[in-house]
């Protein structure tokens, strides 16, 4: 049995998850006659820096708060479709907050300062202690890409506050065989190249909005949703945002050259789940198999529907992953809390 077959077997037998609802259910969700609850953007001070939050509050008193930690770029607006679909799939029984990274959004430039991976981790810890410490709610962390690594570190520091962690298409360690990672790492390590890429991004962002949107659609996301295109045009194509994206990437590559903290993952394996993609260079299936060896009770799944690492940039990806996370929460967290 090869690696992919073993991983697919893990997917079919995953505890608390179910296979894809299929395109039919996603089409029905998109054609629902009732308007979906809209996520609202809020800017608040966390760690003394302006921070973009995207949130939906439960209308009724809720015992559960889901905190979504963005990947890199850490722009919460990319996750709007996902947040709204997750809220709907949980029946409005949970409040949901997506948090972006410092200086990765339009209103959080921090005067040109650059922030490392560990400063972004501290920022997420500060957010939970500032906003949720006295809420009395169970907290589920959902981390995308490097957000999964950040989620693990937050979980490690706040073990008495976090009930469960879900890592989506997780970036937990370097894949030294990946050409894309090598190329990004080379650019991120070079101050000159990083500045050049950031200047070019800023130039594209300064063009007429229709031209900028056309360029984004043509070169970045031909299949992207309107939500993702808007997020890229409003937040990503700015000099300081791109500089911070690349600086954070540089510090990610330095840290993720090390092995994950297997001791902690094994100690909390019943409270951790990871969703991998079939062809994802940030989280290859070999990393899933490594997790299964070190911490066999971690819930491991493989998405086989053809969505990408950037699932949040398409409506179909957002809806599918929201359904997966909602079912995981219902089976692993809400049932336990009853």
Let me know if residue 208 belongs to a domain: no
pLDDT in the model for residue 62: 77
Assigned domain for 60 exists: yes
> For residue 333, what pLDDT is reported?
76
**194 domain-assigned:** no
| Greatest mean pLDDT range, 23-37, 53-67, 143-157 | 143-157
CATH number at residue 283: 3.40.50.1820
240 pLDDT above the threshold of 80:
yes
Residue 70 covered by a domain: yes
Mean pLDDT to the nearest integer, 125-141: 90
- 300-329 pLDDT per residue, tens: 999 999 999 999 999 999 999 999 999 999
Residue 275 in domain: yes
**244 and 103 Cβ atoms separated by less than 8 Å:** yes
pLDDT of 139 higher than 90: yes
What pLDDT is stored for residue 20 in this prediction?
39
- In 3D space, the residue among 225, 252, 236 whose CA is nearest the CA of residue 310 turns out to be 225
Residue 248 domain flag: no
pLDDT value for 335: 60
pLDDT at residue 1 greater than cutoff 80: no
Percent of the chain with pLDDT over 70: 86
Confidence of residue 239 (pLDDT cuts 50, 70, 90): very high
Q: Is residue 238 part of a domain?
A: no
For 165, the 3-state DSSP assignment is strand
Q: How far apart are CA 234 and CA 275, in angstroms?
A: 29
Q: Are 109 and 103 in contact (CB under 8 A)?
A: yes
Q: In this predicted model, which residue has the larger pLDDT, 112 or 218?
A: 218
Q: Which tens digit of pLDDT belongs to each residue from 65-109?
A: 999 999 999 999 999 999 999 999 999 989 999 999 999 987 656
The 10s digit of each residue's pLDDT in 15-55 is 334 443 444 444 444 444 456 789 999 998 998 898 999 99
Question: What mean pLDDT do residues 195-206 have?
Answer: 96
Distance set, CA 168 to CA 57, 144, 145, 309 (Å): 22, 5, 6, 8
Q: Across the chain, what does the average pLDDT equal?
A: 87
Cα gap 64→61, rounded to integer Å: 9
Residue 110's pLDDT band, with cuts at 50, 70 and 90, is low
Domain carrying residue 114: 3-175+259-337
Number of domains forming the structure of the chain: 1
- Rounded to an integer, the average pLDDT of 141-152 is 98
Answer whether residue 2 shows pLDDT above 50. Answer: no
Does the pLDDT at position 336 exceed 70? no
Mean pLDDT value of segment 259-266:
96
Whether residue 228 is contained in a domain is answered as no
pLDDT value of position 242: 95
Of 136, 118, 126, 131, nearest to 158 by C-alpha is 126
């Amino acid at each position: 049995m090869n690696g992919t077959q073993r991983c697919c077997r893990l997917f079919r037998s995953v505890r608390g998850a179910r296979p894809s609802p299929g395109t039919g259910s996603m089409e029905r969700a998109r054609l629902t006659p009732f308007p979906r609850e809209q996520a609202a953007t809020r800017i608040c001070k966390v760690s003394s820096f302006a921070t973009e939050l995207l949130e939906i509050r439960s209308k009724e008193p809720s015992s559960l708060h889901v905190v979504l930690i963005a990947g890199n770029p850490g722009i919460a607006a990319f996750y709007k479709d996902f947040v709204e679909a997750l809220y709907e799939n949980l029946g409005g029984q949970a409040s949901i907050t997506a948090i972006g990274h410092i200086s990765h959004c339009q209103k959080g430039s921090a005067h040109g300062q650059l922030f490392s991976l560990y400063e972004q981790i501290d920022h997420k810890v500060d957010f939970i202690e500032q906003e949720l410490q006295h809420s009395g709610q169970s907290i589920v962390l959902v981390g995308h890409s490097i957000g999964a690594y950040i989620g693990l570190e937050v979980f490690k520091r706040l073990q008495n506050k976090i009930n469960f962690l879900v890592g989506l298409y997780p970036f937990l360690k370097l894949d030294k065989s990946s050409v894309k990672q090598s190329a990004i790492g080379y650019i991120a390590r070079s101050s000159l190249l990083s500045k050049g890429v950031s200047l070019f991004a800023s130039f594209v962002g300064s063009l007429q909005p229709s031209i900028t949107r056309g360029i984004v659609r043509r070169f970045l996301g031909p299949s992207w949703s309107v939500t993702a295109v808007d997020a890229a045009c409003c937040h990503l194509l700015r000099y300081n945002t791109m500089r911070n994206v690349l600086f954070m990437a540089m510090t990610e590559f330095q840290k993720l050259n090390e092995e994950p903290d297997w001791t902690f993952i094994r100690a909390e394996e019943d409270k951790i789940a990871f969703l991998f993609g079939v062809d994802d260079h940030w989280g290859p299936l070999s990393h899933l198999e490594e997790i299964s060896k070190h911490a066999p009770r971690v819930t491991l799944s493989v998405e086989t529907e053809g969505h990408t690492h950037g699932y949040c940039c398409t409506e179909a990806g957002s809806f599918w992953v929201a359904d997966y996370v909602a079912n995981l929460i219902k089976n692993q967290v809400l049932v336990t809390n009853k």
